[in-house]
Structure 1
C-alpha cells in the first residue's frame, strides 16, 4: 500500500517541482515588459498599442515607471529606457514647463491628484541624461518634476482648517474634502522623492514639507483604519453630509468612511507607505509612526491573505462565497449595480501587496521572518493564478484585474461603495492586460528577483 501511494503521488510532486523550477528560470519582469510593458495594454479600458505613443495618465505612468525600473535593474535593456524617454518627451513641452494633454494643453487638471504620479519617471531620466551630458533634456525633466511637486504642494486643494483632517489633499476637485487611499500613492511618493533629491538645501521648507507628507498618512490612517478588521476603508470625507459624499457613513465611529475595504485601494496605500519611507529621513519626528502604520497595514493584509492561493480578494474581508445580491442599489427612483457576480481573487492588488511586502523587507521596514513567507506564497500564487500564456510570440497575459473603482460624485450615483458596486458596478469590470496589473506585476517581480 505504501509503495502504491508513493508511485501515485510521485508524478504530481515531480510536476510541481518542475513547474517551480521553470518559473524560477524566467525573468518575469522582462517577460512582462516585453509582453505588455512596451505596448499592448489598457489604461482604464482604453487600449494603448505602444508605450512611446501613449498619453499622460497615472496608469500609463505606472507602466512607464515599471519599465524604467526594469532598465535600472537590467541596464543592458537599453530599448526599455528609450521607450520610456519617448513617452516622457511626447508628453512634455520644449522647456519642461508644461505636461501636455492630447490637445496640447496642460495634462495637470486643477486639484486632480491622479495626474501627478507619472512624473516619477523624470527623476531617473534627469539623472541619466545629466550623466550623458545631455543638459538640455536633463533640465527639461528637472523642470517637469519641479512643476509637479509645486503644483501639489502649493496649488492643490486641501481640507479647510475648520474641518477634521485639515490640510489633507483632496483626491480630486470633483470630490471636495475627500481623501482616498489611492491618493496617497498618487501624490506623496513624488513629493517625498523631490524633497530628498532637490529639497534638502532649504532646511526650513524641507522639514515643513516632510511634516506635510506625513500629515497625509496620519490623517487618513486615523480616519479609515478599523482596528477590529485591521483594514482601511477605501475613502473618507470630512464633510459626509455633502451631496458628493452620499456614499459616506453618517455616524460614528467611522463617520465619513466608505463602507468596504477595497483591495487595490489598500494596495496603493501600502505601496505609498514603503515608497515614501524609502526617502524619509529617519530622524524625522514622525518616522517611527510611519513605520508603525506600515506594519499595521502589513499585519492586516497577512490576516486576510487567502490561505489556499496566497492571494487577495477584490473585497478583502470576504471570500468567493460573497456575491452581489441581485437586487442592486436603489438611489432615489433609480436602481444601480444589479448583478450576482462573486467576489474574486484580484491581480493588481495581489501584485502590489507583494511588491510592498518585498520592498518593505528589503528596506528593513518589515520583519523578514514575519512576512517573507507571505510574499513568497503570494508571488507563486500570482504566477499560477493570474498569468496566462499568449500563443503570439511566447508572450504572457495577466488576467482577473479590476478595471477601476471609485465613489460618487453626486452626478454619478451608481458608484455607491457597496458590495454590489465593487462586484457588479458598470465601471468595475474584470479585465485582462490592464496597466494597473501589468505595472504592479513588474514591480513585484523586480523586488522578487533582487532576493534570488
Structure 2
C-alpha cells in the first residue's frame, strides 16, 4: 500500500522536521511557555537522537534560549499557578541539559520539580490539574507532569523513591476507568462539585480521544524510567496493555484510527481525529519496540494504522511542506467558556492543521516507524 505522496517507509519524521525549520523558525510567536511546543520539540529531539543532525538540536536550543534567562527565569512560566501543563517542556529541556550542561537549564528543571513538590493534591493525593481547577485530575496532566517527575528523580536524586510517581499513575487509572469498556474518562472531579462531573464517581461525561492519547503515551514513556523490579512498574505495564486493548476494540475497523469521541464512531458529526490517533499509534509503536506488547497482531494493526494515518491526515503543499490536518484544536472542561464535556461541546471545537498537538505526535510516530522499518 503506497500513500499518494510517497511510501510509508519514507522518512516522514525528517521531512516534517525540515518543514518546521523552514516554516516555523521561531517555534512560537506568541511569547508563551506552552506545553504543545515541548511536545513538538520532543519529536524533534527523537529525530536528532536518530540522525545526529545538529540543525535539529540547534532548533531546540534556540527555542529554550528565547525563553530562559541566565538566572533560570522563564518568560511566561509562573509556578504559583500550579499548571501541570507548564511542566511538559521540562522533558525535552532535561535532554538538552544533558547534551549541553548549561546550568541555566538545570535551574529551570529544579523550579519545575519544586512546583511538583508543592502542587496541590486531591484527597487521594493526586495532583490537581492546575490551581484554578481544584480537586480535578485530567488524563492530560499525567503526561504533562508525571513523566518529568520520574525523569528528574532518575537523573538528579540518589536512591530515589518512585512511590509517588507510581501512585499518580495507578490511582488515576483506578478512578478514571470505566469497568464496562475499560476506557478512561477525560477527567475526574474528586470533589464531585463541578457541573460537568458525575455525582457518583466524579467522571466527566465522555471519553475523549486526545486525553486517552496523552495517557497511553505517558504510561509508555514512564515505564523505562522505573526500576524493573518495582511492582508498580509491572502494574502500570498491565494497565497500559488493558487500555491499548480497549482502544483497539473501539478503533475504526476500516482504518485502525480513532474518532474524536472514540466509542461513538457512527454518531453524526463525529470525525476521525489526528492528534489522538497519532498519539495512540505512537504508544503502540514504542511499546512494540520496548517489548511492552508481545502479541504479534499489534504489528499488523500498527502498520495499517500508520498507512491510513498518512492517507487521512497528511497533505503536502506546493513547496513540499508537510501538513498535519484534522487536529482538534482544544478540548477541556469548565473554565470561562463553561465547557460541559458533552458530545456537542467536543464537536464544537475548531478542527485545525499544523497545531503542535498534532505535529509533535506525528513526528514521534514517524520516527518510531523509521526504527520499525
Q: Same fold (TM over 0.5)?
A: yes
- Partner residue in 2 for 1:158: 121
Note if contact 2:3-2:311 (Cα within 8 Å) is conserved in structure 1. Answer: no
Query: CA distance change for structure 1 residues 281 and 20 in 2, over 3 Å: closer, same or farther?
Result: farther
Task: In structure 2, list runs of 5 or more residues that go unmatched.
Answer: none
Does residue 423 in structure 1 map to residue 347 in structure 2?
yes
Counterpart of 2:337 in structure 1 is: 412
1:233 equivalenced with 2:220 (yes/no): no
TM (normalized to structure 2)?
0.95
Indicate conservation of the 8 Å contact 1:273/1:294, yes or no.
Answer: yes
User: Matched residue of 1:22: which SS?
Assistant: coil
2:205 paired residue number: 259
- For 1:197-208, list aligned pairs within 5 A: 197-199=155-157, 201=158, 203=159, 206-207=160-161
Runs of at least 5 residues in structure 1 that lack an aligned partner in the other structure: 1-15, 41-47, 131-136, 324-341
SS at match of 2:137: strand
TM alignment of 1:102-251, pairs within 5 A:
106-130=77-101, 137=102, 139-152=103-116, 154-159=117-122, 163=123, 166-199=124-157, 201=158, 203=159, 206-207=160-161, 210-240=162-192, 242=193, 245-251=194-200
Map of 2:55 onto structure 1: 79
Alpha-carbon separation, structure 2, partners of 1:39 and 1:223: 44
Identify the residue that residue 395 of structure 1 maps to in structure 2: 321
Q: Which SS does the other structure have where 1:279 is aligned?
A: coil
Answer yes or no: is the 8 Å Cα contact 1:109–1:115 preserved in 2.
no
Matching of residue 287 in structure 1 with residue 233 in structure 2: yes
Question: How far has the Cα of 1:108 moved from its partner?
Answer: 3.4
The 5 A counterparts of 1:290-439 are: 290-319=236-265, 321-323=266-268, 342-391=269-318, 393-409=319-335, 411-413=336-338, 415-424=339-348, 428-439=349-360
TM-score by length of 1: 0.79
1:88 aligned to which of 48, 64, 72: 64
Q: Which residue of 2 aligns with 1:99?
A: 74
* Separation in 2, partners of 1:24, 1:273: 26
Structure 1 residues 170-197: Cα deviation after superposition (integer angstroms, max 9, x where no partner):
0011110000010000001111111111
- Match among 63, 68, 76 for residue 45 of structure 2: 68
Is residue 111–residue 173 contact of structure 1 (8 Å, CA) maintained in 2? yes
Determine the C-alpha separation between the residues in 2 that align with 1:404 and 1:28: 25
CA distance in 2: counterparts of 1:266 and 1:143, whole angstroms: 32
Asked which structure has the greater CA Rg, the reply is 1
Q: Deviations over 1:82-120 (max 9, x none)?
A: 011011111112032x2222xxxx443521111110111
Give SS of 1:397's match. Answer: strand
Larger RCO, structures 1/2 (Cα 8 Å, 6+ apart): 2
CA contact (8 A) 2:121 2:135 kept: yes
